[in-house]
Structure formats: C-alpha cells, structure tokens
C-alpha cells in the first residue's frame, strides 16, 4: 500500500469529524437561542386602552429613488392604520437631492393628506447643527467623540443619515413637551392596521418593540422564495427568542421598530458609519437596560426577485453585522461574556453552509455503516446520526412555522404547498451554499471599510396585488 493510500482514509475521517463537530456546535447555538423565552406583546390589552393611553407616534418613511407605485402601495396600507388620527404623523424623509422621489411624494400627498414631507439637506446645511449639538453633549455617541471619524460631519448619504436628521429635528420641534414614540419602515413595508395599537400596548411593558416581517411575494420567482425563507426562518421563528426577558443581546430589524424618543436621545442616536444601523442600535439599547417586546402581526415586505439582487442586499447585511460586532461592542461597554453572547446572534448566519455540507456527509456515514463498508469509528457514526436527527427536527419546526405564517399572504392551501415545495431541503441546501457569496463579499466590505453609501435594494412594487386584495 502506498503512503497516499494510507493517508487518504485518515484525511477523510478527519474531514468527516470536523464537519460533524462544526454542525454540532451550530446546532448547540440554535438550541440555546430557541430555548430562550419570547416576550410577546399581548394584543388582548388593546381593549383596555383608554382615551389617554395612545402615545404620540412619529413614523418615519426613509426612501431613495423609489418607484411612485411602490410608495403608493405602502401609503395605502398606512392610510388604513387604526389609531387616533391626532396621535400620529407619517413623515417621508427623502434626500433633498433626490428630486425625482421628492416630486413623487409631492404628488402622493394629494392622495394621502396625512403624509408629511421632510427632505433631508446635505450635512453642510445649518439645520444640521441640532445634530452636532446633541452629539457634542452625549458621550454615548462614541463615533462622534472617538476614532478616526471623530467630529466628521460628512455623513454617508444613506438611510441612517436620513433617520438621524429627521429624528433630532423632530425632537427639537417637540422641545420636551411630550415623550413621543419613533417608528420607521422601509419603502415597501406595509404594516397591518393594528401596527400602532400594538405599540401603544407594548410600550407599557417594554422599552423597544419589534414587529415581525413577512414577504408578500413568496412565489414570485424561485429566488424570491429562497429570499423569503430567510425571513421565515429568522424573523418568524428564531428572532423573537432574542427578547428573552432581557437576558440576551438583540438586534432590531430596521423596520417596524418602536422606541421612546427620549431613550434614543439618551443613548446617542443612530451610528452613521455602519453599513446598516439595525444590529448596533439594538445592542446599544440592550446594554443600557432597554427590554425588547415582539409584535406578532407582521409587516408585509417585498424580497428581491433575482439571486443577484438578493446577494446585493445580503452582502450589506453581512458587512453591517461584522462592523457592529467589532469595536462598537467595546465602545458601548459590553463585557467579554456579553460580547460572546452578541456574536451568538450572527453564528447561525455564518454556519448556513455547514447545513449544506454536514448533513449529506452524515447521511453518507450512516449509509456506509449500515451496508458494512464504513471506515469511520463507531462513535462518529453516532454523532452523524444525532446531527441528522437534529437537522430533521429543525427543518420540521421551520416548515411547520412556514406553513402557518404563509397563510398571512397566500390565499389557498395550494399556493402554500407550492411554496413549501420551492423551499424543499435539497433547494435549501443549494441556497445555503449560495449564501457563501454574500458572506465573503460582505466580509471583504468590512475589511476594506466599504458599504457606507446606501446601495439600495431595488423594489418593483411586487406586493400591490396582494395589498389590494387584503385591503378589500
């Protein structure tokens, strides 16, 4: 026997054991997250709200180069909100330089009189002084006081900059007269009619509220089905466990998020130098003792219809995750153990490809053991069997949740079954391997400090027919 023939079986055994140990560790993280309790907003309390129990809510609507039809669909859903009309306002916040979107919003204001418009000027404008003054007096705005971008006013032109300007401008307008709530959504986000009522109930028990999300165009294309499953598995199943009675660091989801304006002022506002603001601001809320509550009734959104558009979106997520989990954790005062728990949120995303590689290898190991041709130690076959059983149980839970949640946007059992067939285990394995692409690109963006300019996810108004049906 040659040296090569002697070494090859040992190398195969080593790779097999590595794959199964990695999968076991990934499953352990999932088990930990699923074991955490969920703090749901109890909508049965809506009937207990009295005349003075509706907090004032400012809903920001950041948009950039959006189709007028997409914004009309969202505004139609906002027009159906069930909440005292004098207790909320909807404020669109495009960049002032985005003249096309500003013109579209001006036209839409004639259809939707509740819509207010606040074009965001360049940071050289004198009206930004309210932001610089707020950050000068608040050490929790650590990006302003420390680091290579300290006191740099040329903030990148993206959603976060729009939110910063709109937030501090509105706080100055209220002048401390009332501690109002902030909510913000994406261009394509269509909230349910009880969205603001859920905030009025939840804010009595929690400091931060996060509505779940679901894609309305589940069956539009195969790519859309795969993209939508990310939200089914994350937003709809795993994410709520981050509420955890305050035990676990959490992110917010970047839309359908409520908090008291005074809390965000105290904690320093939004961090402008990250690709996405969602993970960092959520963890900053958590480390300062603000508890999270979950609103079950989801916003309906649109997912990308092609693989490339989905990769564009996810590479920004990944870059933002890496950025938020680096120096910001120390700057906001997390201990080493707290930083470890924060990283646990990201590990399931990093380990998606382990599912695609570890499970087929595990099935192969059991098959060769059953037919008597296995070269693997018996204990490793047992490990593979445990991993395959864990994977099957996890998939069963995800499909059960998906079947239930898909009824919110798919009107027949045939359409729901068709969606499940499009996200079968084989196709999911392919999709999880594709995830390696945005993981790698997002990591390189993080290493090279890119992604600061808003590379928007193009919306095509895919949910208009669904929203018309739901609004009847």
Q: Spell out the per-residue pLDDT of the chain, length 472, in tens.
A: 444 444 445 666 677 777 777 778 888 898 999 999 999 999 999 999 988 899 999 999 999 999 999 999 999 999 999 999 999 999 999 999 999 999 999 999 999 999 999 999 999 999 999 999 999 999 999 999 999 999 999 999 889 999 999 999 999 998 877 789 999 999 999 999 999 999 999 999 999 999 999 999 999 999 999 999 999 999 889 999 999 999 999 999 989 999 999 999 999 999 999 999 999 999 999 999 999 999 999 999 999 999 999 999 999 999 999 999 999 999 999 999 999 999 999 988 777 776 666 666 666 666 666 666 666 677 777 777 788 888 889 889 999 999 999 999 998 999 999 999 999 998 998 898 899 899 999 999 999 998 887 777 778 888 888 888 877 7
From the candidate CATH numbers 2.60.40.10, 3.90.550.10, 3.40.50.150, 2.30.38.10, the one assigned to the domain spanning 43-302: 3.90.550.10
List, in sequence order, every residue forming a beta bridge with 117; answer none if it has no partner: 92
What does the pLDDT read at residue 141?
97
Of residues 192, 189, 194, 240, the one with CA closest to residue 215: 189
Question: Given 3-state DSSP classes, what are the helix, strand and coil percentages for the chain, each rounded to the nearest 5?
Answer: 55, 10, 35
Instruction: Answer for the pair 92, 114: CB distance below 8 angstroms, yes or no.
Output: no
Domain borders along the chain are 43-302
Q: How far apart are CA 119 and CA 125, in angstroms?
A: 12
Cα separation of the two ends of the chain: 76
Q: How far apart are CA 357 and CA 340, in angstroms?
A: 26
Instruction: Record the tokens describing residue 453, joined without a space.
Output: 């300019």
What does the pLDDT read at residue 366?
65
CA distances from 448 to 323, 451, 452 (A): 11, 9, 11
Q: How far apart are CA 284 and CA 274, in angstroms?
A: 14
What does the pLDDT read at residue 360?
65
Q: Let me know if 109 is exposed, middle or buried by CB neighbors in 10 A (0-12, 13-18, 19+).
A: middle
Instruction: Record the tokens describing residue 163, joined without a space.
Output: 């939110």
Q: How far apart are CA 176 and CA 56, in angstroms?
A: 13
DSSP state of 45: G
CB atoms within 10 A of CB 198: 25
What does the pLDDT read at residue 54?
95
DSSP state of 236: I
DSSP state of 120: B
CA distances from 100 to 60, 144, 366 (A): 19, 32, 60
SS3 72: helix
Q: How far apart are CA 21 and CA 40, in angstroms?
A: 34
Instruction: Record the tokens describing residue 226, joined without a space.
Output: 């795969």
């Amino acid at each position: 026997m040659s040296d090569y023939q002697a070494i090859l079986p040992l190398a195969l055994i080593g790779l097999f054991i590595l794959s199964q140990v990695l999968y076991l560790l990934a499953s352990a993280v999932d088990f930990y997250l699923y074991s955490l309790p969920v703090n749901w907003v109890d909508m049965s309390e809506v009937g207990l709200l009295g005349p003075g129990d509706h907090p004032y809510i400012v809903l920001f609507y950041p948009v950039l180069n959006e189709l007028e039809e997409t914004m009309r669909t969202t505004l139609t859903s906002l027009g159906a909100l069930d909440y005292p009309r004098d207790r909320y306002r909807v404020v669109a916040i495009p960049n002032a330089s985005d003249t096309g979107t500003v013109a579209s919003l001006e036209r839409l204001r004639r259809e939707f009189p509740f819509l207010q418009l606040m074009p965001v000027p360049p940071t050289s404008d004198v009206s930004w002084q309210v932001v610089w003054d707020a950050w000068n007096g608040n050490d929790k705005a650590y990006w302003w006081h420390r680091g290579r971008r300290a006191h740099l006013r040329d903030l990148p032109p993206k959603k976060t900059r729009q939110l910063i300007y709109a937030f501090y401008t509105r706080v100055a307008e209220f002048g401390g007269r009332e501690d109002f709530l902030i909510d913000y959504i994406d261009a394509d986000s269509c909230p349910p009619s009880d969205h603001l009522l859920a905030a009025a109930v939840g804010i009595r028990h929690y400091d931060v509220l996060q509505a779940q999300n679901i894609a309305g165009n589940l069956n539009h294309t195969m790519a859309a089905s795969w993209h939508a499953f990310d939200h089914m598995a994350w937003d709809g199943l795993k994410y709520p466990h981050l509420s955890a009675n305050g035990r676990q660091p959490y992110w917010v989801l970047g839309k359908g998020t409520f908090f008291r304006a005074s809390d965000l002022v105290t904690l320093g506002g939004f961090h402008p130098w990250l690709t996405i603001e969602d993970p960092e601001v959520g963890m900053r809320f958590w480390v300062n003792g603000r508890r999270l509550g979950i609103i079950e009734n989801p916003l309906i959104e649109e997912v990308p219809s092609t693989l490339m558009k989905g990769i564009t979106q996810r590479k920004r997520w990944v870059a933002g995750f890496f950025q938020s989990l680096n120096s910001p954790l120390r700057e906001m005062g997390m201990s080493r153990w707290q930083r470890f728990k924060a990283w646990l949120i990201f590990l399931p995303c990093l380990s998606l490809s382990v599912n695609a590689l570890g499970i087929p290898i595990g099935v192969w190991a059991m098959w060769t053991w059953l037919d008597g041709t296995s070269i693997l130690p018996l204990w490793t076959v047992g490990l593979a069997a445990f991993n395959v059983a864990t994977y099957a149980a996890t998939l069963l839970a995800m499909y059960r949740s998906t079947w239930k949640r898909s009824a919110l946007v798919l009107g027949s059992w045939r359409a729901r079954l068709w969606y499940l067939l499009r996200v079968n285990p084989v196709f999911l394995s392919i999709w999880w391997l594709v995830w390696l692409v945005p993981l790698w690109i997002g990591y390189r963006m993080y290493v090279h400090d890119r992604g600061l300019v808003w590379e928007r996810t193009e919306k095509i108004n895919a949910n208009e027919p669904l929203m018309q049906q739901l609004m009847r």
